[in-house]
Amino acid sequence: MRAGWVAGGIRARALLNRRLGVAGARELASSASARAAISTLAQGPYGHSVYSGQSLADAEHGVVEALLWQLRVLAGWQPRQGAEIVRVLAAGLEMANVVELARELSALKTGRYFDLGRLSTAWPRLREAASTTELAELLATTPWRDPEGITPAAIASSLGLEWARRVMTVVPEAAGWAAGGAALLTARLLFLDGRPVEDSTRRRMRTLLGDGVAAGDWDGFTQGLRHNARWPLAGVGDPGQLWRAENAWWVRMEREARALLSTPKAGRAVVVGCVGMLAADARRVRAALHCAARGGRALGVYDAVV
């Protein structure tokens, strides 16, 4: 087993060379156009799924596809426990597929699906659903559990909370990331989306995050969250500033991922750190593409959000 972790750790560190990096992403952001940025990106580490001539939307999808490919490679080089860590952390991409399917079954505009390969937990079965009712029934028989709703919004919120719970249970090294992410999701659902939140969903939120979920105001919400969940919201005075909290989440996640990678001993920490660093790079690259689409004139905004 130790040999497997050592080999997996070597591969994980090698995959980090497939990042564009902070400087590279900012240079990409300064491109004269999205077309120029996509052409540049296609010649680098994201060229697996990003091609010259793609639309901005297709290139954005390609960035995530490239990340997914890197995660599949990473999982393939890990011992069984390491592969499961990658699968759980990457489950957000399966969640994205399920939400797209729910939208498709609801006759709403949809995007493209991700090719999950062995990182899938239930997608091949779920893909066969012929209605949102059937999709919810199938979800109830998988690790995603019963979404207790059949609308795309209900399914999305349920899957997001379940993903956080699963990460907190299976990958304790990333429990703070999951709790903070669940707090951001909950804040958006309760204070911004403007849709009623089912009592069953509120109970799940409260189980994950603490009594603040029951508060009817922003201060009561943030102050009542458990310590490991409230950190992204520190200094955020109202729901309209949630974008700052989301940025804070990414900054801390990347910092902690880097710290995990500094662990000299091969094992779980290196795998978790690698996933975090790769995800942060993909997010930065997507932001850079949006900046380039404005002719590189929005570098100030880019710097603020990454």
pLDDT (tens digit, 9 = 90+) per residue, 138-148? 999 999 999 99
Give 19's Cβ-side CA count (13 Å radius).
Answer: 22
Average pLDDT score, the chain = 96
Q: How far, CA to CA in Å, does 266 sit from each of 6, 9, 202, 255?
A: 5, 6, 40, 19
Q: What is the mean pLDDT of residues 16-44?
A: 96
CA gap 138, 147 in Å, rounded: 10
Q: What is the pTM of this model?
A: 0.95
Q: What confidence score (pLDDT) does residue 1 get? A: 58
CA gap 77, 226 in Å, rounded: 36
CA gap 29, 289 in Å, rounded: 6
Tell me, rounded to whole angstroms, the distance of Cα 207 from its chain centroid: 21
Three-class SS of 278-298: HHHHHHHHHHHHHHHHCCCCC
CB 177 within 8 A of CB 253: yes
Domain boundaries of the chain, sorted by first residue = 3-304
Is 90 exceeded by the pLDDT of residue 210?
A: yes
